[in-house]
Each structure stands twice: as C-alpha cells, then as structure tokens.
C-alpha cells in the first residue's frame, strides 16, 4: 500500500525535506499544506509535493509520516489539534524547530495514543527562503538532531532516519533539554549579541551618520545573522527562555571581567584574553556544517578595470557554478578592490576558486 507523507509548512526546510523524501522514496505520496495558499500552489507547480490540501487534519488520519515544518509555536498548536483526532496506528510525527524541550513534552500526548512523536532539528539553512529555494542538497553533511525520549522505541528512531536518509545528513541523538542548552550557546546567544550590536551601532549612527557608512564593511559581515526572521527568533527566545537568561547572565559576567582588565590597563590579561579566544577558535572544525549556517564566501582581488565583474561572473557561468550573492567591497587595505562571492555549498566555492585562479585571479576564503 502506498505510504503517505503529510508536510505542514511549505518553506525552505519543508520543501527541501520533501525533495529528499521524493527522491529516496519515489512510491510515497507527499501531501502539502501551508497557511499561504500561494506557497501550496508553488510547491505543486515545482513538483515539490504531489498534491496540496486546505485541511491538514483530514489528511493526518491517513498519513504514515507527518512533518511539522512550521515555527515552534505553530507546531505546538498543531500537535494539540492532532491529539484530538484519530491518527493512523504507528504514525510518526516529527518537527524541524530550533527548540525541543517544550514541543517534545507536548508530543508525548500523541505517543500515548500509539502514535510516535520524535523531535527533529535539521541544522541547515540558506540565504534564500520560501519553497522556491527548496534544494535536495540542503542537508548534505549537516547535523540533523533527533530528540527521542525514554518512551520512544529504538525501532521508531531508526524508521524516522530511514524516512530521512535522502537528506544525507549526519544524524545525532540528544536529550531535548541538552539540545536547547547547546544550541542556546552556539546559535541563540550569538543571534542576540549580533542583534544587540547592530542596534547599538544604529543608535550611535543617529548622532553620527558616518558610523553607518563605516559599518558597511566588516561590521556588516560579522553581524549577518542579525538579518534572520524576527518572528522565528521571537519564538526561539520565548521557548528557550530560562536557558537564554542563564547564558546572558554568564555573558554579562564575562563582559564585566573584560571591562575590568581594560580599566586596569592590564596588558598581559588583555593579551591572554585574545590569545585564548584565538586558540579556541582555531581549534574549531573547519569546513563542516554546525548550528549556525556557514557562509560559503570567496573573496576575489580585482583590478580597477571596466568589465572585470562580468569577466568573473562569465568564468563561473561557463563552469555552470551558481552564485547566490555578489558584493563589491570598495575599500580594502593594500588592494584596489575585492569581490565577495557567496555560494550555495563549499563544493561550489572550491570549484569557483579553482576556475578563477586558472584565469589568474587571486582568491581567498576565510576559515
């Protein structure tokens, strides 16, 4: 009998998951739903899903796998609805949210009905959004966190991984609370800090407009994560409230310590602070996907000559390498100009680097 997958939420993550499932399990039927009807129509026309529905509860009862590819708050509300209807025996339900403790607790209601909810968090993303950006390679080599509980049979965890094996992701099992603590540190807190830095710079820029001009270079680059969806990050902070409060308290204590050594003009302690940070940062894995979306950026030194940009893009087009973003960095120490090219994957970046260097361009990427 043909298996049915119900996908609720037709954005980048949901659409990309659908493509991996269709490729690996071509005999299953994927039914899509989104609150935005236009997203559903796009998903159908792009063959991301096999058909769409305007009533996901009606489809849920006959589904073997239900994927909640929505913001966490919406996914929790959907779980409440699903707990009130008859679901197919041994149906698997999973989500893709960035926080796990609360939604896994809510999902336990479904487990009690002979249905199994297993929290999931694919740690992958893109500078693009929406179903039109769906990409079956999005999750390759990325960590895909699965958060089963003591009530989850091992066979069901394996079954979920079998459904998702087309992602070619690196599956990792974590306790839901550990997941929230770890991602709070290496993903949620950095987003808060980046957003705070941007706002502080904006306040200074009101009095001194030149600050905004100066921030167009490196500052804009290091705070790129502050451009993420406000609604998504509102939900994350509310769902991970206590962990974020504890982390922010530790951060404030750390900043207080740095302030003190600056006030004391303790050069030795200041040097040790930066030396330790450099050592720890240099020891981090290079070229691997983690909780924060990697930036596959290649910098290209270019002469001040008409047509240089079209020459660079033409070389890459000839090699069939797609650029997701291109930016001209006008001021750079000791060189006339730099192009920053962004790519979908590390593989595309390396191919571009080789192609451009073969045409005598000097390139470099920052680890």
Q: What is the pLDDT of residues 159-188, one digit of tens each?
A: 999 999 999 999 999 999 999 999 999 999
Domain boundaries, the chain: 4-174, 179-282, 297-364
Determine the pLDDT at residue 332. 44
Residue 229: CB atoms within 10 A of its CB come to 12
Cβ neighbors of 184 (< 8 A, separation 6 or more) are 240, 243, 244, 247
pLDDT digit string, tens, across residues 189-244: 999 999 999 999 999 989 998 888 888 767 877 888 888 888 888 989 999 999 99
Closest C-alpha to 72, from 307, 239, 313:
239
**Verdict on whether the full-model pTM lies above 0.85:** no
Whether CATH 3.40.50.150 fits 297-364: no
**DSSP letter (8 states) at residue 234:** H
Say which CATH class 4-174 falls into: alpha beta
Identify the DSSP state of 131: G
What is the edge-to-edge ordering of all strands in the sheet holding 338-342? Answer: 325-329, 338-342, 297-301, 362-364
The continuous run of DSSP H or E covering 156 comes out as helix 154-163
Instruction: HSE, CB side, 13 Å, CA atoms: give it for residue 12.
Output: 15
Which parts of the chain sit beneath pLDDT 70? 126-128, 217, 286-295, 329-336, 366-367
Model pLDDT, residue 331: 43
Contact 38, 123 (CB under 8 A): no
Sign of CA dihedral 75, 80, 85, 91: positive
Token pair listed for 57: 């509860």
> What pLDDT does 149 receive?
93
147 neighbors 141 (Cβ within 8 angstroms) = no
Quick one: pLDDT at residue 219?
83
- Please state, in angstroms and rounded to a whole number, the distance separating the CA atoms of residues 22 and 26: 5
Q: Tell me which CATH code domain 179-282 carries.
A: 1.10.3660.10
Question: Can you name the residues that pair with 327 across neighbouring β-strands?
Answer: 340
Rounded Cα gap, residues 293 and 227, in angstroms: 12
**Polymer length of the chain:** 367
The Cα 127–Cα 141 span in angstroms is 18
What whole-number distance in Å separates Cα of residue 332 and Cα of residue 300? 12
């Amino acid at each position: 009998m043909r298996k049915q997958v119900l996908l609720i939420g037709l954005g980048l993550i949901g659409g990309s998951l659908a493509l991996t499932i269709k490729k690996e399990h071509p005999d299953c039927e994927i039914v899509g739903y989104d609150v935005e009807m236009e997203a559903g129509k796009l998903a159908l026309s792009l063959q991301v899903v096999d058909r769409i529905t305007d009533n996901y509860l009606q489809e849920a009862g006959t589904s073997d796998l239900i994927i909640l590819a929505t913001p966490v708050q919406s996914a929790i509300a959907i779980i409440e609805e699903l707990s009130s209807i008859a679901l197919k025996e041994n149906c698997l339900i999973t989500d893709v949210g960035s926080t796990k403790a609360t939604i896994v607790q809510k999902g336990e209601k479904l487990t009690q009905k002979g249905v199994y909810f297993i929290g999931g968090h694919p740690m992958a993303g893109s500078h693009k959004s929406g179903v039109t950006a769906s990409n079956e390679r999005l999750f390759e080599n990325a960590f895909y966190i699965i958060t089963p509980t003591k009530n989850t049979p091992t066979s069901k965890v394996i079954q979920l991984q079998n459904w998702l094996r087309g992602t070619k992701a690196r599956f990792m099992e974590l306790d839901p609370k550990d997941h929230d603590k770890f991602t709070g540190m290496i993903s949620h807190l950095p987003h808060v800090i980046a957003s705070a830095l941007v706002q502080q710079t904006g306040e200074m820029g009101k009095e001194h407009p030149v600050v905004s001009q100066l921030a167009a270079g490196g500052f804009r680059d290091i705070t790129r994560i502050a451009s993420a969806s406000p609604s998504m990050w509102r939900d994350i902070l509310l769902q991970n409230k206590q962990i974020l409060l504890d982390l922010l308290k530790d951060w404030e204590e750390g900043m207080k310590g740095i302030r003190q050594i600056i006030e004391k003009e303790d050069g030795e302690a200041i040097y040790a602070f930066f030396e330790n940070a450099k050592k720890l940062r240099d020891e981090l894995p290079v070229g691997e996907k983690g909780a924060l979306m990697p930036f596959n950026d290649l910098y290209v030194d270019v002469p001040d000559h008409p047509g240089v940009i079209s020459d660079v893009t033409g070389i890459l087009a000839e090699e069939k390498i797609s650029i997701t973003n291109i930016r001209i960095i006008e001021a750079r120490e000791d060189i006339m100009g730099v192009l920053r090219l962004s790519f979908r994957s590390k593989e595309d970046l390396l191919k571009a680097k080789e192609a451009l260097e073969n045409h005598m361009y000097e390139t470099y990427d920052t680890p």
